[in-house]
Structure 1
């Protein structure tokens, strides 16, 4: 069967999906991947596919099953499953139309199963998540970008933020928009939104302290560059307007966060998933907590790294880690939360997909949409580029959408595959074809 994997945020998901696609190819399964055009291919065909659901869209899942396909839920926000149990209610809607739900670890699986009817508990499988297969010292060469080192030095300080309260579209507008989507009805739940607003207030109390930390580090280490890398949803101008006078501070969001981690001298966060990635990649990690509420900070990731409560303490830890200070112990067994630490998620998931495909029909091969179809795709994309130049919220909304999956060529994908093959030459050689804007087909 053909595997179909829609991707929302390329910088977060693409590398892991490519690695998964190569493991699927090793089992004779081609992979269609890319932006939302993947769903259009799936819905416009009556051919069965193995569909990797990431946003619990019941209508798409039902269509896949009706065509004789299978649905594997592979959610890129798996860490949120321990932040707020209310997120798990989203999975209750897809129980009649999902073949398997992939959990990042045993703890998330237990939480999921606790919310499911007993006869549905076997839908949950502990797999890990594909991108965390690549979060290790072994794959540092894959992510390492020599141009970053040349431009910012080999010892720059990377500050990763993930503050929803600083959303580029505005907190209230963004969540109102989500509440109108059928797959995110949870944002209409008053109890859940009360929690989200409390969390936003907590985060607002962190914004200015993180700016103060940045200024302190820039002045304490004038010969080192300091990089603030906000979450893709954040308003970058908040930070830029407050550090414009500091020549060694940069607010940037280009490329994968793993590239920035791979070249950084040290990584600083509060409760960001990138802290876990930095730890797994072997980078010195500091967890800055000018104030801390264990009920509102993201559990697990907020306890990773050397803790520091003041800018001075962070700066002292920067010096200590540069002299070989060892990694701070985690308060948790991370293997229970990230199964990748004991198994390769891509192998487990690829075996699962191969099991679903066994005995089924041969994979159908999607083709480019033809002249008129291509014109429609390009017209839509070019329209976004024009609308992104609009002032105000409308322009910010389109720019946010474009930033989630920047335009890519076949060569962009081939370059990433070449890097994966250089590290693991035993992976199968595969061909990649661009079908239309940001939609690709990988076959062996």
Structure 2
């Protein structure tokens, strides 16, 4: 009897699918978002990005929270709209932008209107006011559909959620690298990355000059890391490659330095939380560092005007190292540098791009999007055909084969097989025990009501899917 009632409650609950782009970076914030949705009575799905087109047409969610609206997921957005899923965007990137380039707020907003992508999105959640204001003016979207919520990932910088931040080391210099464009992990070469930049609309001359400058600076950046390690031999220097970077070049370069560790595992917030200071060059982790009360040090003596304009905020928030001597001085006494910060200026700079640092971003996202689910919304539909095509209107033979196998055996075992061929895709996997552990912590810190997480099964065959469901007990 109890099981029957529970089943009926779940079926009657709004179904919200949350697309997870990079689990190492995004999962903890999105599990918190799932937690907030369940508090409002929803059944939440955590969906790996690469499996969304195979799983969601089978699950028929009322709402899909996608990680972006770009040309490369247009077909998926079209499918979701055709199946009557409400589409909302919660960008996994959106605070560190260029001033006048393709991803500047105004150009971003114009681009989404001119490309027609705005017509595929019902609602948009923004990290801060600067981008939302640009969308109000230039995107053509209804202002009521555009909300400043903040990014759930940054809720972990605040109590009570910061209690989940743990790290095995303490008292080290953290070096966050940011050279995925010329040292990529998921594409074959910098030339491939350059073509991607150009395909997204960046002017060829701009891309070529930017990449040339990155290539010229990179060896000097490695020299700076070696200088730190040799100057402070008793201090651990933790090199953390960008999630989309190939870490091998760092392992090879620093193999002879016993106090240098190359380790990008886990969430970056944990590492910053435990570090003495953070060294970077135009890296968005400067914002994370400021929010956690640590010192970001920018290698300004290596910077160029073009690189700085491409992502200006990190430099503005950081203590500038104008030469190697200043770099070593800042590392020697980071507490003194933090004490000299202009906190009012820093707060103003961060505030335009990142909403309130109050630990409530996930709650704002969930509350806003649930309020936008109307009674007159057409019923979401399942589509086996769309699932077989991977959510695409025109799928390749390989995608159809994978979709057909997934429909029969389940997307979870099929994606596991795919990871044997593309090992890098393992980093996109969502592990159920990790989600369960996080939910237990969030529920303990918040409302105390336990939540359940489980692997979702194909409603037609019962085969296991890659998606994880989260619901209140």
Q: For 1:79-101, what per-residue CA distance to the aligned partner results, in whole angstroms no more than 9, with x for missing partners?
A: 25445552315522321121112
1:167 aligns with 2:184: yes
* 1:155 shift after superposition: 0.9
- Alignment match, 1:433: 454
* 1:418 shift after superposition: 2.5
- Alignment match, 2:66: 53
- Alignment match, 1:421: 443
1:326 aligns with 2:339: yes
- For the 8 Å contact 1:74–1:102, the answer to whether it is kept is yes
- Alignment match, 1:215: 226
* 1:419 shift after superposition: 2.7
Q: For 1:245-288, what per-residue CA distance to the aligned partner results, in whole angstroms no more than 9, with x for missing partners?
A: 11111111111111211211211111111111111011222122
* 1:322 shift after superposition: 4.4
Query: 1:341 aligns to what SS in structure 2?
Result: coil
Q: Pick from 400, 404, 417: which aligns with 1:382?
A: 417
Query: 1:165 aligns to what SS in structure 2?
Result: coil
- Alignment match, 2:38: 25
* 1:294 shift after superposition: 4.1
User: Following the alignment from structure 1 to structure 2, what is the Cα–Cα distance between the partners of residues 382 and 55?
Assistant: 27
User: Following the alignment from structure 2 to structure 1, what is the Cα–Cα distance between the partners of residues 75 and 20?
Assistant: 18
User: Following the alignment from structure 1 to structure 2, what is the Cα–Cα distance between the partners of residues 379 and 25?
Assistant: 29
Query: 1:86 aligns to what SS in structure 2?
Result: coil
- Alignment match, 1:97: 120
User: Following the alignment from structure 2 to structure 1, what is the Cα–Cα distance between the partners of residues 159 and 292?
Assistant: 5
User: Following the alignment from structure 1 to structure 2, what is the Cα–Cα distance between the partners of residues 325 and 55?
Assistant: 35
Q: Pick from 189, 208, 211: which aligns with 1:200?
A: 211
* 1:345 shift after superposition: 1.7
- Alignment match, 1:391: none
Change (3 A) 1:103 1:195: farther
Query: 1:296 aligns to what SS in structure 2?
Result: helix
User: Following the alignment from structure 1 to structure 2, what is the Cα–Cα distance between the partners of residues 90 and 106?
Assistant: 18
Q: Which region of structure 1 is more displaced relative to structure 2, 82-91 or 11-20?
A: 82-91
User: Following the alignment from structure 1 to structure 2, what is the Cα–Cα distance between the partners of residues 95 and 280?
Assistant: 32
User: Following the alignment from structure 2 to structure 1, what is the Cα–Cα distance between the partners of residues 126 and 415?
Assistant: 35
Change (3 A) 1:277 1:437: farther
- Alignment match, 1:256: 267
User: Following the alignment from structure 1 to structure 2, what is the Cα–Cα distance between the partners of residues 104 and 29?
Assistant: 23
1:232 aligns with 2:254: no
- Alignment match, 1:394: none
User: Following the alignment from structure 2 to structure 1, what is the Cα–Cα distance between the partners of residues 96 and 203?
Assistant: 13
Number of aligned residues: 412
* 1:323 shift after superposition: 5.5
User: Following the alignment from structure 1 to structure 2, what is the Cα–Cα distance between the partners of residues 327 and 415?
Assistant: 39
- For the 8 Å contact 1:7–1:34, the answer to whether it is kept is yes
Q: Which region of structure 1 is more displaced relative to structure 2, 96-105 or 354-363?
A: 354-363
Q: For 1:318-350, what per-residue CA distance to the aligned partner results, in whole angstroms no more than 9, with x for missing partners?
A: 222145741633564311210133672212211
- Alignment match, 2:362: 346
Q: For 1:36-85, what per-residue CA distance to the aligned partner results, in whole angstroms no more than 9, with x for missing partners?
A: 3333222235x452111223233332333333331111111112544555
Change (3 A) 1:201 1:371: closer
Aligned pairs for 1:257-336 (under 5 A) are: 257-297=268-308, 298-322=311-335, 325-326=338-339, 328-329=341-342, 330=345, 332-336=348-352
Query: 1:79 aligns to what SS in structure 2?
Result: coil
- For the 8 Å contact 1:31–1:442, the answer to whether it is kept is yes
* 1:434 shift after superposition: 1.9
* 1:188 shift after superposition: 5.5
- Alignment match, 2:6: none
Query: 2:182 aligns to what SS in structure 1?
Result: helix
Change (3 A) 1:114 1:400: farther
Q: For 1:327-382, what per-residue CA distance to the aligned partner results, in whole angstroms no more than 9, with x for missing partners?
A: 633564311210133672212211122212353689999xxx99974466324423
- Alignment match, 1:158: 174
Change (3 A) 1:299 1:415: same
- Alignment match, 2:471: 443
* 1:227 shift after superposition: 0.8
Query: 1:202 aligns to what SS in structure 2?
Result: helix
Change (3 A) 1:5 1:287: same
Change (3 A) 1:188 1:343: closer
Q: TM (normalized to structure 2)?
A: 0.79
